[in-house]
Structure 1
Amino acid sequence: MKITGIDIGKKAIRIAILQKGWYSSVAEVVMEEVIPAGETSQHILSTVSPRLSSSRNLIISIPRRYVFMKIIEMPSLKDADLKKALEYEAEEHIPYPIQDVVYDFCILRQAEKTRILLVAVSKTVLESYLEPIKGINAYDISVSVSSLAILSLCLSQEEEKDWMLCCMEESCHEVLVVRDGFLSLVQTIQGQEVESEISRVIENHQVKKIILAGDVSKQPEIISGIRVEEFVLPDSVKILPQIKYPSPVPVALALSKLSKSGLKINLYPERDMQSKKALNKQLKTGTLLLLLMVFCINLLFLTVIRRMESTLQLTRLEINRIGPRVESVIDNKASFERLTRCVGKLNKVILDTPCYLNILNELAMIVPTETRLEGVNIQGRKCRITGCTSGKGAASSVTPLLRAIEKSSAFEQVELVGGITKEMNMERFEIRMLVRR
């Protein structure tokens, strides 16, 4: 699965294509397009988008200066009730006509009150950034904010409970303060008072660590005693060695889309709904086709089983009919069971050669009482029987059996194979013959 992350800054557009693996993700492409003076980011994005025509899963970030973000608190409600209540709250907090914006929210913390992050952007601004990528044939497009993608990754791997993420741009710094492991402050700082304002936030919120992201060269002077680190991607992300690695931000965007947890904000709900509807339609179609396939397989299986059952029933009926006679001329019960198993295995032969059971029936009638059959082998017209006599005097001879077979209208070309072996009062024999046509 590939995810394309597009980070739109004031000076450059940064793009990353991430390939998700079983245990790690690999950044296959990371590129940066500088925005020349006098050009708009939308125009540069339109020139880049043809190179992304194969992208199917895409997330794009809107520049922070165009996005409204605020943390609000609401009574603890169920999800459905919370969403309805937020429709009224959003109109109160967002400083623009509600019909002119697209907004989304995510729950930060649920306790006595629910802490919510509310994010909104003008529909006009949103459309201006979506227009250049309309040529990309992506089935799933999300719109978010790069700072939230970075924050989500930091929250998943940061052990410190009280810290601050500082995302820096040339004309706008954004600080996101985390207290007790939860986002508690979102603030943008502009103008000349950046350093003093950041220092004030650090003191007021007892920040113990600062993570820097964005244009780190614009790093302000931070008060001493605070641990400062640059944002780095988690170890689960591998960057191909041939890739020039200008910024981790687009990779963080792609990772945030892959992750099932974190701060999930999507400012393009219409496309999200379209992709969900398309996916649901595909799932329904696939499910129906699968059910139809299973039904057809079951129907075919039942048909075959019924045919087999009818054949077996016919065979069993025939065997049961001649069973007592056959069993009386076969040496022991095990031999008879082997015979019936053999008959069961040759269902198709039985159907193609109906005389098969008739042969057994004929043998059962002509074999003398004093003779025991130990084996019956029938292959097509060829028939071979082995056994011995168990009587005394004339009854101990195999001659009566040979005469009975020769007189029978069922067999021809009767042949005694290998002569007769005498054992005490018994004569062992092997007779081969052909079944008459």
Structure 2
Amino acid sequence: MSFRKRAVVVGQAGSNSTASQVTTTNKALPPGLRPSPLDGRLTTSTGTHSLDGLLAGHAGLALGTSLLIEEHGTTDFAGYLTRYFAAEGVVQGHQVHVLGMHEGWGRELPGIGTGEVSRRGSEMVNEEKMKIAWRYERLGEFGSARERGAPQSPGSQASSSTAVFCHDFDLSKKLLLPSPSPMRFVPITTRPPFEFKDLDTSVSPFTGFLNHLSTQLSVSPNTVHRVVIPNLLSSALYPPESSRPEHVLQFLHGLRALLRKYPSQVVAIITLPVTLHPRTTGLTRWMELLSDGVLELSPFPSSALPAKSTPGAATVHEEPPQGMLKIHRLPIFHEKGGGGGEASGFGDDLAFTLSRRKGLVIKPFSLPPVEGDTEAQQGGLEHEHGKATKVDIEF
């Protein structure tokens, strides 16, 4: 005969301890971080929702990794990605280190957009939402299975609801930096001031970058650091000797060593103009090998952009794509492949569009219907008795 109470579930104490551990770990996470849904690694947002969804299924950029963004032509779409990345770090309270740029770059960060449009959209969705079973309402949401599996306290639910992983920014607004600014600007120094000696090309111009990063990482070990390097090796910013392999590759080696030394503290995004340094050169290929992720932006020429809207077109409410995006490599950390297929976007032709409120949106590329082809624009559905009508389509 057992003396166990029938109302007590076996292993309830263990479940309470695990739930308390989950809540304590959630509370211990700094703002702007969350575990990856694949393997639990800490990830942070790039400031762009669509880019977070492409990063190998981690729903963000994993800490301790670097992302190299290559861009063709004279446009600056990659520069907008770095500004979104820096603005997200400022809002989350992270330390943002901008290497090779002056303080004027920080005054061009986009401001946080107002939630009026999203609030109206959510109200319309709630009014027109389909009346399905209650158990299927939250199907497919990120983390819903994990939330159902472990009970949460009201305090943790309130904190999780108020915490925002990726903010919405508006390019027409400017982000106001706090008085103790979390941004650090490290301009490239080729020679000491007030010295008119010949420049010593044997000294690497990237030495100051590594010294600054190693010092800041050792001084503040409990802070998340974001490293932003816009237009690396651009002739307008860097001296000619910076393109030497013994200088730039040594710098990327040092940056990779810092990323591996502080895997839960630092993350980096680098942009490279491949018009000046094409991918056919060995230097660019070595730079890609020293980066964890590589993306390539190919903007369309202005003459090749489609019209804004045509009467009767199926894509009248969609903005035309402004370029193509190609994924060469993504940060993958486990043997399952890091969420391939639809999550990674390797099998699709991806296009991007930059707008004022939506930011840079990445989505699969599809050609619009030909002008004048009304049958294709209206669907062109037919069956064995003739053309399909509205009554036949409804179900």
**TM-score where L is the length of structure 1:** 0.20
Work out which of the two has the higher radius of gyration on C-alpha atoms and give 1 or 2: 1
Q: TM-score under structure 2 normalisation?
A: 0.22
